[in-house]
Amino acid sequence: MKKFTAIVYARTMEFLRDKGTFYWNLLFPIVLVVGFSFAFNGNNDTIFKIGVIGESTLGEEAFLNLPSIEQISYDSDKQLPLEKIRRHQIDMLIDFNDGTYYLNNESNSSGLLRIVGEKDLAGFQEKELSGSPIRYVDWLVPGVIGMNMLFSCMFGVGFVIVRYRKNGVLKRMKATPVSPIVFISAQMVSRFIIVILTSILVFTGTNLFLHFMVHGSYLLLVLVTSLSIVCMISFGLIFAARLKSEELTSGLMNLVTFPMIIFSGVFFSLEGTPRLMQQASKFFPLTHFIEASRAIMIDGAGIVQILPNILVLSGMTLVFLITASVLFKWE
Amino acid sequence: MNTIMRIENLKKSYGNVKAVNGISFSIPEGSCFGLLGPNGAGKTTTIEMMEGILSPTSGKVYFRGKKIDNHFKKKVGIQFQSTALPEFITVKETLEMFRSFYPKPRTLDEIIEICSLTDIIDRDNRKLSGGQRQRMLLGLAIIPHPEMVFLDEPTTGLDPQARRNFWNLIDRIKAENTTVLLTTHYMEEAEILCDQIAIMDHGKLLELDTPAKLLTTHFNGVIVRIPHSGLLDFNFENSAVIGDFLEITTNNLDRTMKELLEAKVNLEGLIIKKPNLDDLFLKLTGASLRS
């Protein structure tokens, strides 16, 4: 245990005192979140989005066919479009099957649409919903934190161990009575502490002025984050098991992290992408972290709803750790 | 004297290259054993097989009569030829980390005192000079009160002052009856520090004895060195061309000088010297130790 804490301490100090890396880990995600929140702050309300269920009984001249209105068709299950109204993702839902239309009384567009549609929708029953909007930034923040975690876990453990192997630190360790398990797990714990603290810091820091939507439990959010960090570190260890060249490691890590970032839904939703891509994304730990944390934050999901993500992350961690330990060599 | 370490017919091949090709020797407890050879002779491969870092292709390594096991690492101290230290942490923190690895480590004060680390103890590992770094690495090697230390070219690249300081440290360790295995490029170092010397080249052991015995066995008399320009036509007994000089080994200096005078050789630049290990090395390997 003494050996273990000594290595954790040394590695953590190494990180904290390497000011460049330290600030990069902290500032990069903050800059990204804040930057995106400004970039996508523009109102998309110039065009109204109206959800439609069933065949339209309105004439050609009806307001629905105005050029500034986009129609989106939904099937008869109202749950999804109603949730979209609550989140301000669509402005109105008209159900022609039962002659009802829905508006969100917290949305600026409601009053206007009520007036515009008054004539055409005479005889329809109006129902009011309420709910505050999901901004892009609410949706983005788990993605950016996840991406930062992925980089920090992969490069902070995997890459560093390859560097240790190349420059002889590992060889020096091999000459002491320290076992590889103790050494590697100490590296993992050090990085875990660093990544969880950075993630919390980034979240609370940006939350101060962006006020994210968190409907679920913070504790569950921390649990999912912790599990994902362990999973990502374990993934990085596979690269660290044998490789000797820093260049090759960095290349391979970029080769796998970039597709993960693009296809895990960090910046855009995977809804509407090809099925194959959606299925492939299920193999990435990042996807499960993002899915679970968005579900907790935006939909207020509990442990039951995100259990599939938790199980997959745990399974992946186990597979990664076993693979890495089978492959590992000091030199 | 008891044998602390023994190797038997040790071999290490990398593909077709035989880095170490069947060497055997034993090291008496409490002695300083020097392993000498030119670059690429197989010194580091040999010492690393003895340390348990490399596994031999064939042959055996015994420590106190037993094959080396897990406890071996707690009993020996190792200083590699080149070791990177964790960055951004201080000498003190590094020593503390390594101290935690051993069951009964030396105290920090003791290590600082033996290796003269007082003035650099709070310095970042990255900011150590060559000599300071070697002192620090030696500090790491002696943490477990080792029964034996392995030092792989500890003074290579150090200035003469730093090298002499390092010799004093090795003397201190020897005074504790710690066995020392040392590889070096410097003959002077081997002559001063080592009780026994093994000279190896091309993965094979060429000679093994005390420095004094090696010299008396191989050299009978003194060496006469003359710039060889214009001398090549002459055929002297026991002579060899080394660089720009002709070296004649003789046990009858009077006769050799007469022969040279009779041959009307220009004696400008002539040197007469007692052979040392450098000369022996040249004779055995045909290469300078430092080349």
Average pLDDT for residues A143-167, to the nearest whole number? 90
* Backbone angle region of A51, left / alpha / beta, with phi > 0 → left and psi within -120 to 50 → alpha: beta
pLDDT of amino acid B243: 76
Write the burial class of residue B244 (CB in 10 Å: 0-12 exposed, 13-18 middle, 19+ buried): exposed
With left for phi above 0 and alpha for psi between -120 and 50, is residue B8 left, alpha or beta? beta
Residue B287 pLDDT > 70: no
pLDDT of residue A91: 86
Q: Domain B3-215 has what CATH class?
A: alpha beta
Could you tell me which residues come within 8 angstroms of residue A122 by beta carbon, excluding any fewer than 6 positions away? Answer: none
Cross-chain residue pair B94–A3, CB shorter than 8 Å: no
Task: Please say if the pLDDT value at position A170 is more than 60.
Answer: yes
The per-residue pLDDT for A75 is 84
Average pLDDT, integer, range A34-47: 65
Task: Find out whether A216 and A306 touch, Cβ atoms under 8 Å.
Answer: no
Measured in angstroms, the CA of A159 and the nearest CA of chain B are apart by 14
Beta-carbon contacts of B62 under 8 Å, excluding residues fewer than 6 positions away, are B5, B6, B7, B8, B68
Place of tokens 């907790």: A296
Q: Do A9 and B87 touch (CB under 8 A)?
A: no
Tokens of A154: 């992969």
Element (H, E) at A74: strand A69-74
Ranges of each domain in chain B: 3-215, 220-274
Query: Is A178 in the B-facing interface, judged by CB distances under 8 Å?
Result: yes
> What mean pLDDT, rounded, does chain A reach?
86
Q: Give residue for tokens 């299925």.
A: A279
- Lowest mean pLDDT segment, chosen from A116-120, A226-230, B139-143: A116-120
* pLDDT at A270 > cutoff 80: no
Strands (E), chain B: 3-14, 17-28, 32-36, 58-63, 66-67, 76-79, 148-152, 179-184, 196-201, 204-209, 222-227, 239-242, 245-250, 271-273
Phi, psi (deg, nearest 5) at residue B50: -70, -30
Q: Does B101 touch chain A (CB under 8 A)?
A: yes
Which pLDDT belongs to residue B289? 46
The predicted structure's pLDDT at residue A114: 84
Angle of the A136-153 helix axis to the A285-299 helix axis, nearest 10 = 150
Could you tell me the pLDDT band of residue B50, with boundaries at 50, 70 and 90? very high
Asked if B40 contacts B13 with a C-beta cutoff of 8 angstroms, the reply is no
Q: What average pLDDT does range A217-224 have in this prediction?
A: 95
Residues of A in contact with B53 (CB under 8 A): 171, 174-175
Say what the pLDDT of residue A45 is. 47
**Residues 113 through 152 of chain B touching chain A, CB cutoff 8 Å:** 140
Lowest mean pLDDT across A39-48, A67-76, A80-89, B80-89: A39-48
Tell whether A13 is within 8 A of chain B (Cβ). Answer: yes
Percent of chain B with pLDDT over 70: 96
Task: Please tell me what DSSP assigns to residue A182.
Answer: H
What's the pLDDT tens digit per position in B114-126?
A: 998 999 999 998 8
Q: Which residues pair with B13 in a beta bridge?
A: B18
Residues A170, A269 contacting (CB under 8 angstroms): no
CB B282 within 8 A of CB B215: no
Instruction: Give per-residue pLDDT as tens, B31-46.
Output: 999 999 888 889 999 9
Please give the Cα distance from B233 to A75 (Å, whole number).
108
Does residue B291 have a pLDDT over 50?
no
For residue B149, the chain A residues in CB contact (below 8 A) are: none
Query: Pick from B45, B65, B64: which is nearest to B55 by CA?
Result: B45
How would residue B233 be classed by pLDDT, with cut points 50, 70 and 90? low
- Is the whole model's pTM more than 0.95, yes or no? no
In B100-159, which residue ranges form alpha helices assigned H by DSSP?
108-114, 130-142
pLDDT per residue over A288-314, tens digit each?
999 999 999 988 889 999 999 999 999
Q: Yes or no: say if B222 and B275 are a contact pair by the CB < 8 Å rule.
A: yes
